[in-house]
Amino acid sequence: MSKGQNKLVIALVVVLLAVIAGGAVVIVRLLNRAPEAAPVQTAGMQIGYEADVGVAMTQEDLDEQMNEILNSDTMISLEYTNDAQSSNGKDFDCYIANSANNRYDMYIGLYADLALTDELFLSQLLRPGTAFNHVTLNRALEPGNHTVYCVMTQVKEENGEFVIHNSMTVTMNFLVS
């Protein structure tokens, strides 16, 4: 082969490698793209997924953060049923527990308002693994469906005194027939 032919072959090989590399980049980007999700139908509204977003954390970052949460003592394991039933508005069949997965004792407060000023019930301490199957409110609720704010508060002992360690608020449906 002559020098001119060698240069032509080298140039063709370089161009061919560039085309292959460019194709590989396109294929990798297509494979790593999130699949198009179907829009969510909600009460006549259609909500799609945002297209112009990036990944907030890598899987390794998410795993590390989850391990930190699981190994910390700031978690409250929730254990309750959402609905409580009563025929008289005062005595309710329900299930509200201090999960056996928790490390601390807790007490339960039930409130009729989000500001937590209208107290319906306040428990004594529950050890982990214990639960209420029935509560009697301070006052009767009218017949109907009531949103009740359930505050689960963990306490721990420091210097011979109980102090609040953590707290979580959930809503429950208190149904009076």
DSSP bridge pairs for 54: none
Residue 32 lies in a domain: no
What percentage of residues in the chain have a pLDDT greater than 90? 52
Please determine, for residue 77, whether its predicted confidence score (pLDDT) is greater than 70: yes
Return d(Cα 92, Cα 108) in angstroms, integer: 15
pLDDT of residue 63: 79
Residue 155 lies in a domain: yes
Residue 171 lies in a domain: yes
Residue 99 lies in a domain: yes
The mean per-residue pLDDT over the stretch 67-88 comes to 83
Residue 22 lies in a domain: no
Please determine, for residue 13, whether its predicted confidence score (pLDDT) is greater than 80: no
Report DSSP state, residue 2. Answer: -
Residue 145 lies in a domain: yes
Report the C-alpha dihedral over residues 40, 41, 43, 47, rounded to 10 degrees: 50
Residue 110 lies in a domain: yes
Q: Is the dihedral of CA 20, 25, 26, 28 positive or negative?
A: positive
Q: Which of 137, 134, 142, 87 is nearest to 109 (CA)?
A: 137
Residue 131 lies in a domain: yes
Are 77 and 169 spatial neighbours (Cβ–Cβ below 8 Å)?
Answer: no
Are 95 and 80 spatial neighbours (Cβ–Cβ below 8 Å)?
Answer: yes
pLDDT of residue 152: 96
Domain assignment of residue 141, given as a range: 77-176
Kindly indicate the confidence band of residue 70, based on its pLDDT and cuts at 50, 70 and 90: low
Contacts of 129 (CB under 8 A, 6+ apart): 97, 98, 99, 100
CATH code for the domain of 143: 2.60.40
Are 86 and 79 spatial neighbours (Cβ–Cβ below 8 Å)?
Answer: no
- Greatest Cα pair distance, the chain, in angstroms, is 103
Kindly indicate the confidence band of residue 35, based on its pLDDT and cuts at 50, 70 and 90: low
Task: Count how many domains the chain has.
Answer: 1
- Whose tokens are 């360690």? That residue is 165
